[in-house]
Structure 1
Amino acid sequence: MAAKTGTVHVKSKVWLEDSKGRIIFGLGRMRILEAVEACGSLNAAAKALKMSYRAVWGKIKVTEEALGKPLLVKSQGGSSGGGSTLTPYAHILMDRYLSLSRVIDTQADELFESGFLDPK
């Protein structure tokens, strides 16, 4: 989200990180989960996002380990080729992330538009 005052804009970006500074969840992880939901598998999601399977899996694995909860339910291959679905926790995490992002965007916009560049 961006608020404008003339030619200057405020922008904000929200992500979660651990104590080591590693990203745990943010817009990129959100897009991965959305792609898994749309495509039905981690491999198809990686292709749709033009990312390697290894990179996508690595990001999901870091998030699952840091949060201590699975984000995906994986089914093995076979004639149907396997696939992945999101866990209920993944859906909750996505909803909460979007809510947090909206609140932060709204508050940043309001502060900026209230005279951030022209303090009195």
Structure 2
Amino acid sequence: MSTSKDNVPFVVRSKIWIADHDEQIVFGLGRYRILEAVHRLGSLQAAAQELKMSYRAVWCRLKTTEERLHRDLLVRSNTGSTLTPFALQLLKQFRRLQAVIEAESDAMFKELMADSIVPDQEDADR
């Protein structure tokens, strides 16, 4: 029995990140989530608490990314932290990149693999 590609019981998933030439992480979903939380909450401490991370872990990841990009991500003050225009653009572009990659991956999976991994109806009835 032939199964429609839209009714495939499986999906493909991928994870992307940006790395430097030494394969060190520059930016990925974890750092995206940190920046997004800082943007919403206005502080590194609040973001760390929400993400169930230590303040030091959050700070170190962002500091490392700033060093590798040679760009500031945060404006720090006594009242909290805000994202720089560069960081806001980075969030927007990463979100778009992730969406494009997911859409392309889904399309390629359906084209190249979906039909070949759907069980035959006889096998499914057993």
Q: Using the TM superposition, give the Cα deviation of residue 115 of structure 1 relative to its aligned residue in structure 2, in angstroms.
A: 3.5
Residue 79 of structure 1: aligned partner: none
Alignment of 1:86-105 (within 5 A): 86-105=83-102
Amino acid at match of 1:31: R
Instruction: From the two aligned structures, give the one with the greater helix fraction.
Output: 2
Alignment of 1:57-96 (within 5 A): 57-76=59-78, 82-96=79-93
Residue 111 of structure 1: aligned partner: 108
| Cα distance between partner residues in 1 of 2:64 and 2:55 | 14
- SS at 2:71's partner residue? coil
RMSD over aligned Cα atoms: 1.8
Structure 1 runs of 4+ aligned residues shifted over 3 Å read 3-8
Q: Which has the larger Rg? A: 2
Deviation digits for residues 7-52 of structure 1 (CA, Å, limit 9, x no counterpart): 4321111110112222111111111011101111111111111100
Cα 1:74–1:15 shift into 2, 3 Å: same
Alignment of 1:13-32 (within 5 A): 13-32=15-34
Q: Using the TM superposition, give the Cα deviation of residue 117 of structure 1 relative to its aligned residue in structure 2, in angstroms.
A: 4.8
Equivalent residues, number: 112
| Cα distance between partner residues in 2 of 1:4 and 1:73 | 46
Instruction: From the two aligned structures, give the one with the greater strand fraction.
Output: 1
The two structures have a TM-score, normalised by structure 2, of 0.81
Note the residue ranges of structure 1 that are not aligned, 5 or more in a row: 77-81
| Cα distance between partner residues in 2 of 1:60 and 1:4 | 40
CA contact (8 A) 1:16 1:23 kept: yes
Q: Using the TM superposition, give the Cα deviation of residue 4 of structure 1 relative to its aligned residue in structure 2, in angstroms.
A: 7.4
| Cα distance between partner residues in 2 of 1:73 and 1:19 | 28
| Cα distance between partner residues in 2 of 1:37 and 1:15 | 20
| Cα distance between partner residues in 2 of 1:104 and 1:84 | 31
